[in-house]
Amino acid sequence: MSELEEAWEWALKEAQSRAQAAGRRDIADYLSLRRRHDLLRRTGTEWLMNEFILLAGEANRSGAGIQLEQHDEYRFARGTASMVGKRVTLRRGVRTMTIESGWPRTPKDGIVRGGGLACANIKHLGRPRLNEELLLIRSAKGSPEWFVLKEDQRAPLTKFDFQRHLDVLTQS
């Protein structure tokens, strides 16, 4: 968790305490929900990024030569909304794949469309047809789950999807 995220978490906790002390249960309940959703968002984003990093590491142990860059507090657009989160860039020669994941942090940033908690994009430089948009939702079990958005449908993100994207990067 970054310093900014820690400060945000602390500010939410303090605001929730003040709302409870003032008898504003509605505000306290909202802030409690916000904190739980932020935990799901962070967990889902970390898992997504780590899966790609682990696969790239495995490929590098087999001689793939993938270079890795990570950026925190990264901003990207999804529609008219502005998402704040993380970006991982994987490079192999002239091929580049970028994974970006985040969510709106303030009201002016907009909203996540489709009822999701967070958004992500998987982008292949120069190959836009291979790009995919992802949506993080809270599963029936209460855990975060990523879905690939295809036209008007959602399909669960699988290990096969991760490998497929990495294979595109490592193709000769």
Per-residue confidence (pLDDT) for residue 123, from 0 to 100: 97
pLDDT at site 1? 52
d(CA 118, CA 96): 23
Helix, strand or coil, per DSSP, at residue 1 = coil
Q: What is the pLDDT of residue 73?
A: 87
State residue 119's pLDDT score. Answer: 97
Query: Which pLDDT score, from 0 to 100, does residue 36 have?
Result: 79
* Whole-number pLDDT of residue 64: 94
Tabulate helix, strand, coil % of the chain (nearest 5): 45, 35, 20
* The predicted structure's pLDDT at residue 30: 66
**Distance in angstroms (rounded) separating the CA atoms of residues 131 and 112:** 19
Q: Which string of DSSP letters, residue by residue, matches 47-110? A: HHHHHHHHHHHHHHHTT---EEEEEEEEEEEETTEEEEEEEEEEEETTEEEEEEEEE--SGGG-
At 172 the pLDDT is 60
Q: pTM of the full predicted structure?
A: 0.83
Question: One digit per residue, pLDDT tens: the chain, 172 residues?
Answer: 556 556 656 666 777 677 777 777 777 666 666 777 888 899 999 999 999 999 999 999 999 999 999 999 899 999 999 999 999 999 999 999 999 999 998 889 999 988 899 999 999 999 999 999 999 998 888 788 999 998 889 999 999 999 999 999 998 6
Domain spans in the chain, listed from the N-terminal domain onward: 43-170
Give me the pLDDT at residue 62, please: 94
Residue 161: predicted pLDDT: 96
Nearest to 35 by CA among 15, 56, 12: 12
